[in-house]
Structure 1
Amino acid sequence: MPELPEVEVVRRGLARWVTGRTVEAVEVVDRRSLRRHVAGVEDFRGNVTGARVTDVVRRGKFLWMTLQDPDAPRDVPHVALMAHLGMSGQLLIEEPEAPLEKHLKVRLRLSTAVDDEGAPLPADLRFVDQRIFGGMFVADLEPTADGAPGGRGDTDLPLIPHQAAHIARDPLDPSFSVESFHRRLRERRTGLKRALLDQGLISGIGNIYADEALWAARLHYARPTDTLRRPDTLRIVEAVTTVMTRALDAGGTSFDALYVNVNGASGYFARDLEAYGRAGQPCRRCAAKGRSTLIRREAFMNRSSSLCPYCQPRPRNARA
């Protein structure tokens, strides 16, 4: 499933190609991808057709485009078009005459626009989903609880879709508070990795980047959160931020053809993973110091954790 860096790569691509354009037509190829829009296909089409995209915003793994009614007197969005990528969802920018994808679900025709050099931009925004776990739906916007912008975007409007309001801010969000996170982390009294995966505590971190950040911070996944000092919390936040920033620079992590950016290109951060997926291979940090420690894969919450047993020793009071 795409994690925060992958969704942010998609957000940046959409922001570049879609912001400021009007949705001129909506084609629903497969109604199953609108199952989260409980009012039905015609209501979805009515909300989206003719609306102008004012921003593309992300909080954690939640992604949405703010839409403004063309008849509205103020330049304020009235609803959000949310896109849930699920396991295999893709948002692709295509030329209208380009061949239709096999698993195309929703097709939006955008108004004419040009890039900075005057070249015409592609006019199709296509939602493609092989496994149909993702989908699109329209959501109402409401004020954020803290008065800060709803998430990572190009505007500072303190609005967020109701369906994303319960999601915590992520470390790449300018409004993320390390102090607040540290306080809530210690109150949680659980294992560190379990806390990192809790989207109500800190968002956007999945299994891959949790393992990578814990390896970078030299912390075991079962470290009790109530034993963490501020320097420990700062170290894990910095590690998460660094790992995700590196992943963003590499275009995300692609293990197959299901994750691509809006141009259809894969990310290549998988080449730089230090722990995840490297069980049985040498820990590069240990190897650099002449040690022969192998990365270990351990069962964790019906999935697994990858770690270096030397760099990340298991605490005596482990709490997975």
Structure 2
Amino acid sequence: MPELPEVEVVRRGLVKWVRGRTINAVDVLDERSIRRHALGTEDFAGNLAGATVLDVVRRGKFLWMPLLDAESNGASADASPDATGAAHTTRPPAVALMAHLGMSGQLLMQDNGVPDEKHLKVRLRLSPREGMPEQLRFVDQRIFGGLFITSMVPTDDGGPGGLAESPLPLIAEEASHIARDPLDPAFSFELFYRRLRKRKTGLKRALLDQGLVSGIGNIYADEALWRAKLHYARPTDTLRRAEAERVLGCTREVMLDALAAGGTSFDSLYVNVNGASGYFDRSLNAYGREGQFCVRCAAAGINATIRREQFMNRSSYTCPVCQPRPRNGRW
């Protein structure tokens, strides 16, 4: 499943291509991909037609596009996009188009003449803009993802809803339950640390808890813990401030490195909006390297190999030398 860096790669691509453009028409080719929109296909397409995409926002792995509805768009002269593609309006958006990528969802920009992809589910026909593709396509092989319209609600802390070009103190309702992610400028380490210390659980379980910190999945948790030289079973209530700062800093580092590489891709399912796969998997130090030498230990002349252990119906990868299991680790 795409993790935060992969979704951020998609967000950055969408900002460039769809911000400030109007959705002229919607083609739903497979109703299963809008099943989360309870009012059905006609309502989904009718609400999107004529709406303008104001921005593309991400918190954790959640991605949404705040919309200026057709009525406001037609009535307000200040809703037209400027030279940067931003649409200006004094009225805050009431709804957003939310995209859930699931296991294999892709958002692709395509020209009208490009043949439909085999697993194309939804097509948004956008207002023309010179040099830009006319269609935003949602492609999903396994149909675990989907698109739906959701309400925008105020954030609980009054800060921006997520990472965006023009941040607003609003968040898509379906994302309002999750915490801020490590790349969010409004992320509070103090709040994170207080909540972390109150939990009586293992460190990796805490990092995967979207109510504590969002956007960290199995791959990047293993990579961050390897960089921080901490074992996944370290009890959170024993974690010192410096250790919490270290693991959070390492989480940011590994995510930024993944962003620079275009994300992590193990097959052809994850691609950005131009169809290019990420390649950060070539730089992984722990995840998926069972039986291979730990590069840090090897550099120090120590013979240690990465081990794999069962963890929450998944796997965790650690070095037994530089990430020793804590004596009181129970998770």
Q: Give the TM interval when normalised to the shorter protein.
A: over 0.9
CA distance in structure 1 between the partners assigned to 2:145 and 2:18 by the alignment: 20
The match for 2:96 is: 80
CA distance in structure 1 between the partners assigned to 2:206 and 2:249 by the alignment: 16
Letter in 1 for 2:15: A
The match for 1:199 is: 210
Residue deviations 1:59-83 (CA, integer Å, cap 9, x gap): 0000001100143253422211000
1:7-86 alignment, distance < 5 Å: 7-72=7-72, 73=76, 74-86=90-102
The match for 2:84 is: none
Which structure 1 segments of 5+ residues have no match?
Answer: 115-119
CA distance in structure 2 between the partners assigned to 1:18 and 1:70 by the alignment: 16
Shift of 1:292: 1.2
1:232 to 229, 243, 252: 243
CA distance in structure 1 between the partners assigned to 2:170 and 2:295 by the alignment: 44
CA distance in structure 2 between the partners assigned to 1:54 and 1:98 by the alignment: 26
1:256 to 261, 267, 280: 267
Letter in 2 for 1:6: E
CA distance in structure 2 between the partners assigned to 1:113 and 1:302 by the alignment: 47
CA distance in structure 2 between the partners assigned to 1:47 and 1:235 by the alignment: 46
Shift of 1:271: 0.3
CA distance in structure 2 between the partners assigned to 1:217 and 1:121 by the alignment: 43
Letter in 2 for 1:112: P
CA contact (8 A) 2:200 2:237 kept: yes
Letter in 2 for 1:64: W
Q: CA RMSD in A?
A: 0.7
The match for 2:2 is: 2
2:125 to 109, 122, 128: 109
The match for 1:296 is: 307
Which structure 2 segments of 5+ residues have no match?
Answer: 77-89
1:180-191 alignment, distance < 5 Å: 180-191=191-202
Name the TM-score, length of structure 1 as normaliser: 0.97
SS of match in other structure, 2:55: strand
The match for 1:93 is: 109
Shift of 1:168: 0.7
Name the TM-score, length of structure 2 as normaliser: 0.94
CA distance in structure 2 between the partners assigned to 1:234 and 1:219 by the alignment: 12
2:137 to 107, 126, 139: 126
SS of match in other structure, 2:322: coil
The match for 1:117 is: none
Letter in 2 for 1:36: R
The match for 1:176 is: 187
The match for 2:323 is: 312
Letter in 2 for 1:34: I
Letter in 2 for 1:113: R
* Higher mean C-alpha displacement, 105-114 vs 239-248: 105-114
The match for 1:218 is: 229
Letter in 1 for 2:173: H
